[in-house]
Amino acid sequence: MTSGIRTAVARLAGQYGMLLVLAVLCLFFAWATYHEESPTGQAGAELLAEWVAHETPKGEVVVIVTPTGAEGDEFAAHLTSALTHEGVTIGAALQGDPPTVRKALEALPAKGQHVPLIATTGDCRNWSLWDALQQSNSAFAATKILAPGSVRRSTFLTASNLRNIADQTAVIAIIAVGMTMVIITGGIDLSVGSLLALSAVLTAWLIQRAGGERANGVALLGSCLVAIVLCGVVGGFMGWLTARLKVPPFIVTLAGMQIASGMAFIVSHGQSLYDIPASFTWLGRGTTLFALPNAVVLMVAIYLVAHLFMTRTALGRTLYAVGGNMEASRLSGVSIRKTLVLVYVVSALMAGIGGVITVSQLKAGAPIYGVMYEMYVIAAVVVGGTSLTGGQGRVFGTLIGAFVIAVIRNGMNLMDVEPYTQKVLLGVVILGAVLIDISRQRRSKHTA
């Protein structure tokens, strides 16, 4: 029993060693972005209210200043109720950007209001407005400006940033599903980036034709489906050329990359198409399940289906057979032509879906989308443990690979790594991650 568990763990570690790398990366970035910050929301407001009540002289009032935006609204509401609870009179509640706040504040002494104390958020406290105001206006020289004290927090580990990462991975990860299948059959698909652009432009163009900003739901769905299916047709053609005429996939998809990109520029006249209803951003920006962006939910669903297909269906197993030994599979009666056409169609469909999501996220479709995506996608697949020589690989490995790359990128942005250095580091870290994975896989092979 225990040895069974141990074997299972060893197998899991061997198969998903990259998961460990991902965990290490997350831990590192969580530590590296750990810093002091003012608490926000209810906790911050209550902390501040207590302090303000203590500092406010008898008979004096307090002025609340918050920035625009949802966080500012929430803080203002909680602070107001907490201060009222403490019995502090609120002289004025101001909200806005620095110039607005300054104008409103400077109007107060003119109205005869004395401002001994200003309560604000931690972000606002950092505005250079306060120094400028106190130096230039004698009415504020003695004003105390209070914000909640600091708590320690990791920017990387905040819920909004983790959602951010999932959101940033979605498109690459979805395209990588198709790429994984293609690579398992021993092929490669360089056209995915251009197909993404083509799909994005087609979607936006069709929506424009269907009424632009006034297009209804059916028209929107129809536009997306047509764009995705057209991409699938292009993919099918490339698969057919590879399977039937035995043209190397590298060449076929390199040509496909040029053709699809050119078509995207032709359809859009090189411009970005933006006449898209706001409701269309539901897919890329909206959330339904557990506050997860819908694109992420779609990504998870696609991975589940792809995993079941690759592991539980005969057709799925055929991909491995074709990639492992094409001649042997042909002799054992597998239709290689059908299999190859299928994987290129799936890859193109995924790129098509990626294009639709991108349009939804950016509310515009432009032929310049998807540049270099084939490289990011191939990187995700390879980091995920799929062998470029074919016959080996797992769909969930690819998902982890995509996340490794997204986490590195996000983490470096949060740590303010300079852009030229980011490129070098991304390459080095991917190399390091793959080296770790190779050594772990070899070790697990020996222990098993």
Partner 1 sequence: MLGCFYFLLSEAAEWWDRGILHNVTSVITIFSAEERKVQRRLSVLASLILAGAIFGCNQSPSPEAKKGDATTSPTPKAEVKQKGVIGVSLLTMANPFFKVMGDAMQAAGGKIDFTVNISAGEMDAARQKDQVNDFIAKKVTAIVLSPVDSRSIGTSILEANKAGIPVFTADIGCLDPVAKVVSHIATDNYGGGRLAGEALVKAIGGKGTVAIITHPEVESVILRAKGFKEVIAKYPDIKIVAELPGGGQRDASFKTAQDILEKHPDLNGIFAINDPSALGAVAAIEKAGKIGTIKVVGFDGMPEAKQAIKAGKIYADIVQYPEKIGEMTIQAVGRFMAGETVPAKTLIPAGTYLKSDADKDASLK
Residues 6+ apart with CB under 8 A from 266: none
Q: Which residues, numbered 106-135, are part of the site for partner 1 (CB under 8 A)?
A: 123, 125-129, 131-133
Closer Cβ to partner 1, 181 or 342, answer by number: 181
Closer Cβ to partner 1, 201 or 342, answer by number: 201
Q: Which residues, numbered 255-284, are part of the site for partner 1 (CB under 8 A)?
A: 270-272, 274, 281
Q: Sheet of 89-95: strands edge to edge?
A: 89-95, 61-66, 117-120, 144-146
The whole-angstrom separation of Cα 433 and Cα 172 is: 19
Q: Where are the alpha helices (DSSP H) in 64-158?
A: 70-86, 98-110, 122-125, 129-136
Q: Where are the alpha helices (DSSP H) in 185-290?
A: 192-209, 217-244, 249-268, 282-285
Least spacing, CB of residue 314 vs partner 1, in Å? 27
144 binds partner 1 (CB under 8 A): yes
Q: Which of 182, 382, 395, 400 binds partner 1 (CB under 8 A)?
A: 382
Which of these segments, 313-321, 345-353, 394-402, 437-445, binds partner 1 (CB under 8 A)? 437-445
CB distance 319 to 181 below 8 Å: yes
Closer Cβ to partner 1, 90 or 414, answer by number: 414
Count Cβ atoms below 10 Å from residue 77 Cβ, excluding itself: 14
151 binds partner 1 (CB under 8 A): yes
347 binds partner 1 (CB under 8 A): no
At which residue do the structure tokens 């299916």 appear? 229
Which of these segments, 2-10, 147-155, 229-237, 321-329, binds partner 1 (CB under 8 A)? 147-155
429 binds partner 1 (CB under 8 A): yes
Q: Which of 14, 91, 148, 352 binds partner 1 (CB under 8 A)?
A: 148
379 binds partner 1 (CB under 8 A): yes
Least spacing, CB of residue 305 vs partner 1, in Å? 24
47 binds partner 1 (CB under 8 A): yes
**51 sits in which H/E element:** helix 41-55
Least spacing, CB of residue 28 vs partner 1, in Å? 6
415 binds partner 1 (CB under 8 A): yes
Pairing of strands 34-37, 151-154: antiparallel
Closer Cβ to partner 1, 264 or 334, answer by number: 264
Q: How many residues does the chain have?
A: 448
Query: What are φ and ψ of residue 117, in 5° steps?
Result: -145, 130
